Amino acid sequence: MAASRGEPDPRPPLSSSSSSEIHVRGNSRRGANLIHPVDIPTPPAPAAPSPVVFREVKHFRRWVAWLLPTFVVVNTVMFVITMYVNDCPKNSESCIARFLGRFSFQPFKENPLLGPSSSTLQKMGALEASRVVDRHQVWLLVTCIWLHGGVFHLLANMLSLLVIGIRLEQDFGFVRIGLLYIISGIGGSLLSALFLKSNISVGASGALFGLLGGMLSELIINWSIYTNKVAAFVTLLTIIVLNLAVGILPHVDNFAHIGGFLSGFFLGFVFLIRPQFGWVSQRYAPPGYLTTSVRSKFKKYQCVLWISSLIIFIVGFTVALVLLLRGFDANDHCSWCHYLSCVPTSRWSCNSSPGYCTSTQLGSQLNLTCSTNGKSNMYMLSDPTTSKIQGLCSQLCS
């Protein structure tokens, strides 16, 4: 069709020598036509981005928990050894689970926790304030942490240790958590010995409360890196208060709980501090990544808490140890503090002082009289040992 007059034809002339001509070739394969451009250059493919190399941040690394499970094994082994030394059939008239032989338990009336006698615990290293003060057996502040009064006592503490301790050891490592556990246990023993002058004390409860105190201070000092921090704080505080409330029951050493908690609380500010995220991201950022410039590794409030807590702990621990070795009795200066460990009610009494007996031996007849409750009993024993008499006295006075 010819173009109209006065208007150029928009179509290029059909000439084989035209420079604007485009050549195409068609390939037919199985009936499909593929058209490939020949003269149009293909743009180069974009370069692949360099891979980002992630490095482990040592301040937030995950540790393998092995120390606290080892502590569980040690506590269990110590309890088995204590029961072997106790040898209930030899030193008591009646025993629970007598089929266990020398591993059988003392009567419920004497020890409701399914465990050894008080005299056996004293032999194994139970905390007794008079021995620390008069005989300077300071190691009892440590040995009592690894002893337990019975099966129920052992199970409760070891299950709690696994639940609380493994998570902490995974987050902060075995060195810091191990030190926190042991020092808190000693702190609990110190406060217990300052107030409980007539009873013996055993158990890892003080060290466990130290871990709870450390969890609370860790949440406070690392407040800025947590989400849902208020809910976590309220939950943790509720758990701590409920556990301390259980300590007002009789036969529970709540002074060890309080001392361990306070020790762990102040040590947590020292051992469990973490650097602020801005400093970590700046130090570990890959090359070419821009981060906000942060000069200080820790925030100001973290430094203040770290220094003040370290001073308070060192001063408090030293003063408590000196007072104990001088025979200081905290009950003389705090008339109401005994209610922190036991509150008497119509259902129970807080008088848990150990009983003492007077004994007379006439041939094969042993007469015992408990000085605490005035009860007397006669036993047919030809040559009783001291351990035997102490076990019979404990049953008579209980």
Residues involved in catalysis? 205, 257
Q: CA 123 to CA 135: how far, in whole Å?
A: 14
- DSSP string covering 125-167: T-EEHHHHHHS--TTHHHHGGG--SSHHHHHHHHHHHHHHHHH
CB contact at 8 A, 372 and 351? no
Q: Which of 267, 138, 130, 266 is nearest to 200 (CA)?
A: 130
CB contact at 8 A, 141 and 189? yes
Q: CA 177 to CA 185: how far, in whole Å?
A: 12
Beta bridge pairs of residue 25: 36
Residues in the chain: 398
Alpha helix stretches (DSSP H) within the chain: 67-86, 88-91, 118-124, 129-134, 140-143, 151-172, 174-195, 205-221, 229-246, 254-271, 277-284, 300-325, 386-397
Question: How far apart, in Å, are the Cα atoms of 320 and each of 194, 232, 312?
Answer: 8, 32, 12
DSSP assignment letter at 105: B
CB contact at 8 A, 22 and 39? yes
Q: CA 244 to CA 292: how far, in whole Å?
A: 44
Query: How many Cβ atoms sit within 10 Å of the Cβ of residue 8?
Result: 6
Question: How far apart, in Å, are the Cα atoms of 309 and each of 221, 260, 262?
Answer: 11, 15, 11
